[in-house]
Amino acid sequence: EAEVAQSPRYKITEKSQAVAFWCDPISGHATLYWYRQILGQGPELLVQFQDESVVDDSQLPKDRFSAERLKGVDSTLKIQPAELGDSAMYLCASRRSRLGTEKLFFGSGTQLSVL
Amino acid sequence: GQQVMQIPQYQHVQEGEDFTTYCNSSTTLSNIQWYKQRPGGHPVFLIQLVKSGEVKKQKRLTFQFGEAKKNSSLHITATQTTDVGTYFCAGSGGGSNYKLTFGKGTLLTVNP
């Protein structure tokens, strides 16, 4: 079965440094999401793309976070500068369309530790 | 904004006991999805409920959607060690982007 690819699997960085995460959704999936999951919590939406366009970034801390999906396929999430409170799992998910009845396919995530 | 509450936060059972987790939304939902996340893993889709009062079964798992489409439950009969993990509900309120809001999840541990 096709999978959502994410890299790196783990990232350790010092505060004030820049970090970037990459996601390649399942082929043909028009909708891509970046979620942040703190240990013991549910995934929280950071940004939603429909093809190459951002359709929801209301919860994205735009002073330090940025996301792009230039060709409507793979996506990059960047944090600059990283803060201690950014330590979390960053999950990418995709689905065929943004219809609410479509299920999400999650990648394995990037575990970020900020020291 | 839409909020989805889930209880309990943790549940520890003996193998063979039943388990139930409940999900409540602050607003009426168009549909609700359930996901399971194994320890160290990522959320995996289990099922979707769309109709008011809907009940769906997957082997030992029974999912229900409330009549008012504001609450849902997942019941596991005779738990097994393979059921260990965190169960999340995720509700969609519709709207142009069909935003999916996740609950905080219920962590199930099973003592063999």
Q: Please write the tens of the pLDDT for every residue from A32-83.
A: 999 999 998 999 999 999 999 999 999 999 999 999 998 889 999 999 999 9
Q: What percent of chain B is predicted at pLDDT more than 70?
A: 96
Looking at residue B97, its pLDDT comes to 60
Secondary structure of residue B42 in the 3-state scheme: coil
Beta strands in chain B (DSSP E): 4-7, 10-14, 19-25, 31-37, 44-49, 55-58, 61-65, 71-76, 85-92, 100-102, 106-111
Looking at residue B98, its pLDDT comes to 74
Question: Does the pLDDT of residue B92 top 70, yes or no?
Answer: yes
Residue A99 — very low, low, confident or very high, per pLDDT cuts 50/70/90? confident
Tell me how close the Cα of A5 comes to any Cα of chain B, in angstroms: 12
Q: Verify whether the Cβ–Cβ distance B102 to A44 is below 8 Å.
A: yes
Q: Verify whether the Cβ–Cβ distance A104 to B88 is below 8 Å.
A: no
Looking at residue A1, its pLDDT comes to 76
CA atoms within 13 A on the CB side of B107: 9
β-strand A105-106 against B4-7: which pairing, if any? Answer: unpaired
- Which tokens belong to B61? 């798992």
CA atoms within 13 A on the CB side of A97: 4
Write the CB contacts of A32 (distance below 8 Å, at least 6 apart in sequence).
A23, A25, A48, A49, A69, A75, A92, A93, A94
Tell me how close the Cα of A9 comes to any Cα of chain B, in angstroms: 11
Which residue from B minimizes the CA distance to A38?
Answer: B104
For chain B positions 5-44, those within 8 Å of chain A (CB to CB) are 6, 9, 30-31, 33, 35, 41-44
The amino acid that residue A94 corresponds to is S
Looking at residue B48, its pLDDT comes to 96
Q: Verify whether the Cβ–Cβ distance B98 to A55 is below 8 Å.
A: no
The amino acid that residue B29 corresponds to is L
pLDDT tens, residue by residue, B35-72: 999 999 999 999 999 999 999 999 999 999 999 999 99
Residue B93 — very low, low, confident or very high, per pLDDT cuts 50/70/90? confident
